Amino acid sequence: MFRRQRYDTISAMHTVETIAAYLERYAPLRLAEQWDNVGLSVGRRDRGVARVMTCLTVTPATVAEAVEAKADLIVTHHPMPFDALRRLTSDTTTGRVLLELIAARIAVYSPHTAFDSAERGINQRLAEGLKLRGITPLVPDDEGQGAGRWGWLEEPCSLEQLAEAVGEFLAIEHVQFVGEPKQPVRTVAVACGAADGFLVAARQTGCDAMVLGETRFHTCLEAEAVGVGLVLPGHFASERFAVEQLADVLAGEFPALEVWASRRERDPVRWASRRAQRVER
């Protein structure tokens, strides 16, 4: 009874549609890649909203958190579902989490690649975090917006120093890179997530290095061959920070709402420690 009364009261203030409309202005869906599944994917637009959780990905852990915290809306970077479904059953992980969300009446909105490319999106924030100057879309559209970013460092550095700067900004211990450690870097391209398709654009704009979440082995070899350094902090790290910042944006825009970034979400990739042991002979 309490939950119904709370919806009736709060619905006059904010609904799923209210927040979805704001997100569509903040990260226009026209900026999304054609293959993407962005926007509202689960839920009724007229439902009242009091609690919103942001996360990078909808998983059993983040869904459990949202259900326990009585969230009304999840704003997830990665779409759920990502691909079209032929059936909705508990036989798959996607089916199980969607059925749980529907049962709990939790709506799901994903800005994904629209947020990557937005004016205040992930790539812009990553480029600013690295203190790049003259930040410009790496692949601009007719309106001067577009995917990726590139710019230049006020003071040149080595590729290894750039990797260290990425790790410091993202607050992570391990950052992979491809190229000679002392390779000089002045112009830098940025593309979060799995973004190896931007290597050609980075090379065409004359970038010395490119920061991206992750890439394939053969892209690493190609980058090495053409002399473009790569910095690879990991898919999770390259995007999760912006999901946390998006929670702050929504809280500022909708002060009546309780908004938080998932507290249980973790990078699924782990690093093992290997200590050399001396073998007595």
Q: What is the pLDDT of residues 109-167, one digit of tens each?
A: 999 999 999 999 999 999 999 999 999 999 998 787 899 999 999 999 999 999 999 99
How many whole angstroms separate alpha carbon 168 and alpha carbon 165? Answer: 5
Q: Do 200 and 136 belong to one domain?
A: yes
* Cβ pair 15, 45 in contact under 8 A: yes
Q: Do 36 and 135 belong to one domain?
A: no
**pLDDT by residue (tens digit) across 58-108?**
999 999 999 999 999 999 999 998 888 888 989 999 999 999 999 999 999
Residue 248 lies in a domain: no
Using the 3D structure, point to which of 112, 138, 156 is the last residue of a domain.
112
A 10 A CB-CB count for 70 gives 14
Q: Do 40 and 88 belong to one domain?
A: yes
Residue 197 lies in a domain: yes
Total of domains in the chain? 2
Residue 264 lies in a domain: no
Q: What integer pLDDT is reported at residue 276 of this predicted model? A: 52
| Mean pLDDT to the nearest integer, 205-223 | 97
How many whole angstroms separate alpha carbon 168 and alpha carbon 42? Answer: 36
The DSSP symbol for 280 reads P
Q: Do 31 and 58 belong to one domain?
A: yes
Q: Do 74 and 164 belong to one domain?
A: no
Q: Do 182 and 142 belong to one domain?
A: yes
| pTM exceeds 0.85, yes or no | yes
CA distances in angstroms from 65 to 136, 157, 172, 227, listed in the order given: 37, 42, 24, 45
* Cβ pair 229, 207 in contact under 8 A: no
Range of the domain at 29: 2-112
At how many degrees (to 10) do helices 93-103 and 60-68 cross? 10
Residue 259 lies in a domain: no
- Helix (H), strand (E) at residue 83: none
Residue 73 lies in a domain: yes
Residue 149 lies in a domain: yes
Report the CATH number at residue 145: 3.40.1390.30
Q: Do 83 and 139 belong to one domain?
A: no
Q: Do 94 and 137 belong to one domain?
A: no
Q: Do 41 and 99 belong to one domain?
A: yes
How many whole angstroms separate alpha carbon 203 and alpha carbon 17? Answer: 41
Indicate the SS3 state at residue 101: helix
Residue 241 lies in a domain: no
A 10 A CB-CB count for 41 gives 18
